[in-house]
Amino acid sequence: MELVSLGLILGITGSLHCVGMCGPIALALPLNHDSPLSKTIGILSYNFGRIFTYSIIGVLFGFFGKGLKLAGALQVVSIILGVIILLSLTLPKILNKFHFSSKLYLKLNTWVKQKIGKRFSKKSNASLFVLGLLNGLLPCGLVFLAIASAIAQGGVLEGTLFMMFFGMGTLPIMFLLPYFSGSLSLTIRNKMKKMVPYVMALFGVLFIIRGLNLGIPYLSPEFNETRTEVKSCCHTSVSHK
């Protein structure tokens, strides 16, 4: 239940950011306008492509989170992620001095945009699905926050579900966006984007609280599952002897 609620909350609130950042792509989708049904299927194909990409990302980073959990480092990593998120909001100029990932960021961003541009000449649902797959790969602060959340879950299934529900949380606004393109000016989209830092700050604080191992159900559970399992196995082995 925690995965569902947190993923949906981040997706729903973060979709305001999507309107500002990915809105131009959603507004320019090569949809089939012959009938409302054709248009709806096209929009869903695009958005399901995004959700599928987010889910695959969740699998990959879920493995990473599971490895951290088994190594007993998930608690520390959760706190570090929370601190980084808060620093990125309060001291962006200082963090911008570190360009360790800027080249990779630019290469990925350029490659994805080139592929997206080529897909706009096709109106098939399959092409729209691929557009969604590619859009899910665009480097984005909100997606980075979701990835950090997936890592903090400490498991493959948990990370996958979190990213999937995150994507589903963005679905309502991103689905309706092409229908209300005329009523969403650049000014309105920019105002919606201003809410995102508050959401990021909230999740940053949650990461820190989660990593403090306070024993609070759902909010700050104890990171002792692996140790408990090891002790249980050792105890069973001794009992058999």
pLDDT tens, position by position, 101-139 = 567 777 878 888 888 888 888 888 999 999 999 999 887
pLDDT, greater one: 44 or 235? 44
**What is the pLDDT confidence band of residue 37, given thresholds at 50, 70 and 90?**
very high
**What is the pLDDT confidence band of residue 236, given thresholds at 50, 70 and 90?**
very low
Provide φ and ψ at 102, rounded to 5°: -65, -40
Dihedral Cα 139, 56, 11, 212, nearest 10 deg: -90
| Section 161-182 average pLDDT | 86
pLDDT at 232 over 60: no
CA distance 77 to 58: 17
pLDDT at 93 over 70: no
Residues 174-225: tens digit of each pLDDT: 888 877 765 566 666 666 667 778 878 888 888 888 888 777 666 666 655 4
This prediction has a pTM of: 0.79
Q: Which amino acid is at 147?
A: I
CA distance 78 to 72: 11
Domain that holds residue 210: 2-240
Of 149, 131, 157, 19, the residue nearest 78 (C-alpha): 149
Number of domains in the chain: 1
Chain-wide mean pLDDT for the chain? 79
pLDDT on residue 133:
94
Task: Determine what percent of the chain is predicted with pLDDT higher than 70.
Answer: 76
| Section 60-64 average pLDDT | 94
pLDDT on residue 2:
64
H helices, E strands: number in the chain: 12, 0
